[in-house]
């Protein structure tokens, strides 16, 4: 059975990771949360007091950063590790959300992360979520989804997520952060967030997670059947 790449891009807090994770589990594919990688870089920059405008410092820091995902059997989740240390909880905090868009707009940071992401997905059989997967990391992804949802819905989801982790943040602060990140993500020079021409739009404002997952799986199944049919007709011709 051939394996494909499923690229899920879109705005922050539309349910990309939850959907991508569930799709990966149902298909027996790997899941790569590329936002977590930019968050881990941001954490390193904060801890090491790297000046974002100092290219030499940024490049040296990137050389010293090693990001991996470890499967936690107890939680069943893939957890982000920065130089061998589990930083999964830390990178989800608000102080990281407040600088991650600036960090991910630095071209050198993007080049380093994109190269690692392409390596991680080179055998295919992955679901990757982010902002530039269908446009830059895997422009040849077999399934491309562009997710969106209205700002209020996204902010409420983000607030619940933070609350579950014990961080109480008011809705206005979250809305401001989302709007600021949307602006930076969509207007940066290096691979801004845009819908790839061949990506299908998925508005999750009024959808449940199950519906979102089914929607993506339906497209993946359709694509796999098409690939299967094409490879069958090629074998017959040969």
CB-wise, 183 or 222, nearer to ligand DC?
183
Given a contact cutoff of 8 angstroms between Cβ atoms, the answer to whether 199 and 144 are in contact is yes
From the list 145, 135, 132, 199, the residue with the least C-alpha distance to 20 is 145
Query: Any idea what DSSP says for residue 199?
Result: P
Q: How far is the CB of 37 from ligand DC (least distance, A)?
A: 7
Q: Which of 61, 120, 121, 131 binds ligand DC (CB under 6 A)?
A: 131
CB-wise, 4 or 103, nearer to ligand DC?
103
Across 5-35, b (16+ Cβ under 10 Å) vs e yields bbbbbbbbbbbbbbbbbbbbeebebbbbbbb
Q: Which of 12, 78, 177, 212 binds ligand DC (CB under 6 A)?
A: 12
Q: What is the dihedral of CA 68, 71, 76, 80, to 10 degrees?
A: -20
- Position 104 contacts ligand DC (CB under 6 A): yes
Q: Which of 80, 82, 132, 174 binds ligand DC (CB under 6 A)?
A: 132
Length of the chain: 238
- Position 19 contacts ligand DC (CB under 6 A): no
Q: 16 in helix, strand or coil?
A: helix
Q: How far is the CB of 235 from ligand DC (least distance, A)?
A: 37
- Position 181 contacts ligand DC (CB under 6 A): yes
Residues 63-102: x/- map of binding to ligand DC (CB under 6 A)? -------------------------------------xx-
Contacts of 218 (CB under 8 A, 6+ apart): none
Interface with ligand DC by CB under 6 A: which range of 21-29, 128-136, 140-148, 224-232?
A: 128-136
From the list 69, 75, 211, 72, the residue with the least C-alpha distance to 128 is 69
Binding site for ligand DC (CB under 6 A): 12, 34-35, 38-39, 100-101, 104, 130-132, 181, 185
């Amino acid at each position: 059975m051939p394996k494909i790449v499923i690229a899920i891009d879109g705005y922050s807090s539309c349910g990309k990771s939850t959907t991508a994770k569930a799709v990966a589990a149902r298909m027996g594919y790997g899941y790569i949360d590329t936002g977590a990688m930019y968050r881990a870089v941001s954490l390193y920059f904060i801890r090491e007091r790297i000046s974002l405008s100092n290219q030499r410092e940024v490049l040296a820091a990137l050389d010293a950063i090693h990001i991996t995902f470890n499967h936690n059997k107890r939680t069943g989740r893939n957890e982000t590790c920065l130089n061998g240390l589990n930083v999964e909880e830390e990178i989800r905090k608000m102080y990281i959300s407040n600088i991650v868009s600036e960090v991910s707009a630095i071209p050198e940071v993007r080049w380093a992360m994109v190269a690692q992401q392409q390596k991680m997905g080179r055998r295919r059989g992955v679901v990757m979520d982010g902002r530039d997967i269908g446009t830059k990391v895997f422009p040849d992804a077999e399934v491309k989804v562009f997710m969106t949802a209205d700002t209020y819905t996204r902010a409420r989801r983000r607030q619940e997520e933070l609350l579950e982790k014990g961080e109480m943040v008011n809705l206005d602060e979250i809305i401001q952060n989302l709007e600021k990140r949307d602006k930076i993500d969509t207007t940066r020079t290096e691979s801004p967030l845009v819908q790839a021409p061949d990506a299908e739009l998925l508005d999750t404002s009024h959808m449940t997670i199950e519906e979102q997952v089914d929607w993506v799986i339906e497209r993946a199944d359709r694509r796999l059947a098409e690939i299967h049919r094409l490879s069958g007709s090629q074998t017959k011709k040969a």
